[in-house]
Structure 1
Amino acid sequence: MTAAFGLPDPYRDTAFYDDVAVKRGLAWVVDVICITTLSLLLTPLTLFTSILYFPLFYVMVGFVYRTVSIAKWSGTPGMRLMSVELRDASGRRFDLATAALHTLGYTVSWTFFPLQLLSGALMLGTARKQGLSDLVLGSAAINRSALDM
């Protein structure tokens, strides 16, 4: 992997970034389904009180789901299904702290929807297909299958 700041060069190593924005969108759909299912399955464990604050409960479940899966696999289950993983500025997999910061950025972006629109536009318009959280952290999502090249 050739690297500027540890990440593959988007002009020389294009296979790392091919279709990443589309794959991240599809991964998001998978993850929303997983988080919704998990939230509904966990609701009885709250003695159904989470029904009273379900949007907040959903955000909390999603935060833990994203943080833990990104820290463990460097991507959510949806990202893994789409063969995409996150790498930090040095090209390494995310640790727990970086995963939590990335998830916090994602959550803030969804809280202030114009930021999420900006993030989506950045994923479509930047060479490394980086969203807003990625740009702030210096990270990028890359094709996992391209790692074998």
Structure 2
Amino acid sequence: MYSEPLSHLPDPIRQAEFYDGVAFKRGIAWFIDTAVIIAITLPLALFTIIGIFMIPVYFIVVGFLYRWFTISGGSATWGMRLMAIELRDAYGRRLNGQQAFFHTLGYSVTMSTVVLQIASIVMMLISERGQSLTDMVMGTTALNLRA
């Protein structure tokens, strides 16, 4: 059905339970992650002299580091873990530090432009595996964790 290397991932037709509701769960996880990033960013900004003027920069840096470290540590951000989903590479393995860095970089580039954000959301909603723009480029996908 799929050519290599995507054939290492669960088949979206025969094993649909791995992909059921993943796009919605990713949306909820995004809100959770954003709340965590804000909770880290605000104290940093408020307790430094020029921090209040640097909130957007702090938010971007903290967000990047948070996503990179949490994804490289368990193939999911804290929000994804709460929603019981995780990222897998094209071979079905958890993402390592390098893959997590590039996934986070791709996410950051996508979030920098409204057109790319919309395209990524639409791709998550219409693709068989619920893959975002970054996922399509990297060959990664988000899966429901096994019960």
**Counterpart Cα distance in 2 of 1:4 and 1:55:** 37
What residue in structure 1 maps to residue 8 of structure 2?
A: 6
What residue in structure 2 maps to residue 23 of structure 1?
A: 25
Q: Within 5 A, what are the aligned runs for 1:80-95?
A: 80-95=81-96
Q: Return the TM-score normalized by structure 2.
A: 0.93
Q: Return the TM-score normalized by structure 1.
A: 0.91
**Counterpart Cα distance in 2 of 1:120 and 1:22:** 10
Q: Within 5 A, what are the aligned runs for 1:28-43?
A: 28-43=30-45
Of all paired residues, the percent bearing the same amino acid is: 43
- Compute the RMSD of aligned alpha carbons: 1.3
C-alpha contact (below 8 Å) 1:5/1:91 kept by paired residues:
no
**Counterpart Cα distance in 2 of 1:24 and 1:38:** 21
What residue in structure 2 maps to residue 143 of structure 1?
A: 144
What residue in structure 2 maps to residue 52 of structure 1?
A: 53
User: What are the superposed Cα offsets for residues 72-106 of structure 1, whole Å, 9 maximum, x if unpaired?
Assistant: 01000000000000000010000011101111111
User: What are the superposed Cα offsets for residues 98-145 of structure 1, whole Å, 9 maximum, x if unpaired?
Assistant: 101111111111101110100000000000000000000000000013
Question: Is 1:115 aligned with 2:126?
Answer: no
What residue in structure 2 maps to residue 104 of structure 1?
A: 105
Shift of 1:42: 2.2
Shift of 1:6: 1.6
**Counterpart Cα distance in 1 of 2:129 and 2:83:** 17
**Counterpart Cα distance in 2 of 1:27 and 1:62:** 14
